[in-house]
Amino acid sequence: MAGFGWFWKAMGSSATANQKKSKSIVGEAQKASDRLADASDSEVVDIARSCIGSDDARTIEDAPLLLAAVREASSRTLGMTPFDVQLQGALRMLVGDVVEMATGEGKTLVGAMTAVGYGLQGKKVHLITVNSFLAGRDEKWMGPLLDFFGLSHGAIADEAGSEERRDIYTRDVVFGAVNEIGFDVLRDQLITRREDAVRTPADVAVIDEADSVMVDEALVPLVLAGSEPGAGPTAQITEVVRRMVEDRHFTVSGDRRNVFLTDEGAAFVEKELGVESLYAADSGDLLSQVNVALHAQHLLIRDVHYLVRDGAVALIDNSRGRVAELQRWPDGLQAAVEAKEGLTVTDGGRILDQITIQALLGLYPQKCGMTGTAVAASDQLRQFYGLSVSVIDPNEPAQRFDEADNVYATAADRDAAVIDHIVAVQATGQPVLVGTQDVAASETIADDLVLRGVECNVLNAKNHELEASVIAEAGRPGRVTVSTQMAGRGTDIRLGGADSEPGAEEHDRVVELGGLHVVGIGRFRSARLDNQLRGRAGRQGDPGSSVFFVSLEDDMVSVGGAGEELTAQPAEDGRLEQRKVLQFVDHCQRVTEGQMLDIHATTWKYNKLIADQRAIVNERRDRVLDTEAAWDDLSYHDVEKVGALQASGIDQAVLVQAARDIMLYHLDHEWSEHLAYLDDVRESIHLRAIARESPIDEFHRMSIAAFGELAERAVELARETFSRAEITADGVDLGDLGLHKPSATWTYMVNDNPLSSTGGSVMGSIASMFR
C-alpha cells in the first residue's frame, strides 16, 4: 500500500510472509518498549511523531518504535497493555488488510491503535461500526488514547443535528455507524450551497465487523426519499391475492425467492377485478400491484422476515436476527405487507438519491477492517475491494471443541433432539447459548424448553434493546440463552457472568464444566455465519464447545441440494449418522455460498455502473456549486432577461445563486428520474436472455444511452426555467413555476439484498414495481 514506505515491501505478499514479518516487527516493538518506560507523556508523543517521515507521503519509517509508543500510551491512558497479537492486528491494518481476530481478543483497542497510526500521518480517519450504540461506546472508551496523541475525535449520534455533525466531521477521528455516514453523504449530494455540506471527506475507513459491513450489507442501498404518494396494492387486490392457490394460480421458485402468476391465476384476477386484461396497455400498474401483493402474501413471513410492532411493520435483518432499524422494502412491497397485516398503508416517496454501502466505502482512498470471520469472506473482500486478509493468532490458544453436526431427516425430529440435548446440558450447570435462524424459531424453542422446566432468556428482534445486557450474562452457570443470529456482536460473554474474572467462584465453576456450550439450530447459507455463532464460545483461551443440529428440510439444504438425491436410512429418532450425509450438508452449504457470490458479482456489475454515473453527476454538481458555471450558461442563452435583471439592481451574488438553484433542481430531478428508469430496465432485463443477449451488456448499453441524455436534458430544462422564472432580491422561487421540492425527506435502507442468508427474501429484480 502507498504511504508505508519500505515496510510494505518488507512485508511480502503471502499470508505466511505477512505473519512472519509482522511477528518480527512486533518483537522489535517489545524491545523498544524498554526505552519508553521512564519517558514522560510528551516524550512518548514526540517519539511516536518522530516515527513518521517528513516527506509529502508522511510514511511510517519506524514501525516497531511507533507500536511501542502506542502500547505505552494505551497502558497509561486506558489501563490496558495491548497483547502482541493486538499490535500485530494494528500493524496489518496500517498496511491496509482486513484482519481476522477471534472473539474477545480486543478488536476495539486494535481499531483505536490503528486510528492513532493513521492520525499521526495526518490522515482523517472514520472508524465505521454497525450501529450508533457501538460508535458512541467505542469513542468514549478509546477517547483517552486519542487525546494522549492530540487527535480530536467524536461520534455521530442518530439524533445529532446538522451543526453538530458538521463539527464532528472536521475532527481527526470520527466514530460512526455505516448508515449514518451514508445518509450524510446522500444529503450532501443535494445541497445548493457549499456551506450547507455536513461531511468532511476522510482519507481512511477503519471498518469494525468488516464482513458484516463489507459483505452481508454491501449491496443494501441507502436511500434518500422525498414525499410523494407511494403505489401499493389496493385492499381489493390484497383480498383477491389472499384467496389464490399455489401451483394453480401462481408458482414459487425452488429457492422461495420469486413468485410467478400462471395463466389461470391471471384469468382469476381479471375476473375478480372486472378487468379485460392485466397485460393491456391501459391497465396501468395493475399487474405490478398483483405481483407485489403475491410477494408480500406468499414469500414474506411474519416473525421470520418482519415483525408487527406498535402498529407498524419492522423488518428483520436476516444476518443478525435483529430489527433492521431505518430499513423498509421498496415502497410498493412495504405497502403490500402493511395491507396484508391490516395496518395503515404508509405513503412511499420518490427516491431522490441512493448509494450502496459498497459504493459508500469506495469513497475512501484507503480501507482496512477487522472481524472474527474474515477468511470465509476473503474472496469477496479481494474481488470487490482489492483487500487481503491477515489471520491473527489468538493470544491464548483456543480450547473450543466443535462437535460434528447432528443431522436429522425432518425438522420435527431435529427440534425434538435439540430440546433433549439442551435439557441434558443445562442439568449439569453448564451455560448454553442457542442460535436460531429466525424469531419464530427462537420463540418455539423457548416455549418447548419452558414446558420441560428449563427457564431461558430469549433474545431476538422483539427485545433487541436488551441485547447487550442479556448476552453479557449468558455465561452464568445453568443459564440458557436463546438468540437469533447474531448474538451480541461487540459484547463479550464472560464465563460466570458479566463481572466475573478468573478466580471467582462462578467463573471457575463454569470452566470446570467445560465453558459456554453453543447450540446452532440449522446451518446458515454461509459457513462464515455459522463460525460467528461458534465463536461466541472459547473467548481468550476459555474452554467451550459447539454443535449444530441440522435437518434435511432446512432452507440451506433444500436450496443447495436442489435436484440432487441422497439415499440414507435414519435411526429411530430420525438421526442420519452416515458420513455421506455430513458430506452432503457441507456440499449444500458450498453450493449456496457459490450462489451468493455469483449474485453478489452480478449485482455488483449493475451497481458499479450506477456508482460511476453518480460520480459524473457529482462532478457536475461540484462545478455548479463552486463556480459561476450555471450563471454563465443560463445568462448566455437569455441576454435580454439578464439585461433586465441587472438593470433592476439585484446583487450579482443573488443572481448567481438563483441560476445555481435552477440548474441543480433540474440536474437532481433528472438523476432521480434516471434511477427510476434504471430500476425499470433491471426489472425487464432478464428477458434479454431469451433473445440470447447478455442482460448485463444490454443493461450497460441502455443505461449509458439514457445517461448520455441526462445532463443535456437538465440544462435545456434549466434554460427554459430561467427564462420563465421571476428572480427578485430574495432569489428565485421555483414553486411559483410548479417545480416543488419535496415537502419532507427521509432516509432508509432498502431491504432488497439478494445475499440474505435466509430463504424467501425478495430479489432486487422486482424493485421497479415500487416507484
Binding-site annotation, residues: 86, 104-108, 492
CB-count exposure of residue 629 (10 Å: 0-12, 13-18, 19+): middle
Is residue 179 a contact partner of residue 164, using CB atoms and an 8 Å limit?
no
CB-count exposure of residue 731 (10 Å: 0-12, 13-18, 19+): middle
3-state percent breakdown (helix, strand, coil) of the chain, nearest 5 = 50, 15, 35
For residue 19, give Cα distances in angstroms to 92, 540, 770: 9, 20, 49
Is residue 149 a contact partner of residue 119, using CB atoms and an 8 Å limit?
yes
Query: What is the Cα–Cα distance from 288 to 770, expressed in whole angstroms?
Result: 8
Is residue 751 a contact partner of residue 306, using CB atoms and an 8 Å limit?
no
CB-count exposure of residue 565 (10 Å: 0-12, 13-18, 19+): exposed
Phi, psi of 355 (to 5 degrees): -150, 135
Specify the pairing of strand 322-323 against strand 312-317: antiparallel
CA-angle at 613, arms to 611 and 619, nearest 5°: 105
Contacts 24+ apart (CB under 8 A), 424-427: 425/517, 425/519, 426/454, 426/478, 426/480
CA-angle at 448, arms to 443 and 452, nearest 5°: 145
Q: Is the bond preceding 486 in cis, omega lying within 30 degrees of 0?
A: yes
Is residue 716 a contact partner of residue 622, using CB atoms and an 8 Å limit?
no
Cell numbers linked to 471: 448476552
Strand-pairing partners, residue 448, are none
Query: What is the Cα–Cα distance from 470 to 466, expressed in whole angstroms?
Result: 6
Helix axes 629-636, 639-647, angle to 10 degrees: 110
Helices (H), 525-638: 527-534, 555-560, 579-626, 629-636
Cell numbers linked to 744: 419532507
Is residue 510 a contact partner of residue 495, using CB atoms and an 8 Å limit?
yes
Query: What is the Cα–Cα distance from 634 to 511, expressed in whole angstroms?
Result: 76
- 734 secondary structure, DSSP code: G
Helices (H), 302-438: 331-340, 357-361, 378-385, 411-427
Binding residues for ATP: 86, 104-108, 492
Specify the pairing of strand 173-177 against strand 204-208: unpaired
CA-angle at 304, arms to 303 and 309, nearest 5°: 35
Query: What is the Cα–Cα distance from 236 to 242, expressed in whole angstroms?
Result: 10
Of the candidates 222, 260, 385, which has an alpha carbon nearest to the alpha carbon of residue 753? 222
Query: What is the Cα–Cα distance from 302 to 312, expressed in whole angstroms?
Result: 12
How many separate helices (H) and strands (E) can be counted in the chain? 27, 26
Amino acid identity at 118: Y
For residue 621, give Cα distances in angstroms to 18, 64, 221, 714, 718: 43, 45, 21, 12, 14
Cell numbers linked to 133: 450504540
Amino acid identity at 545: S
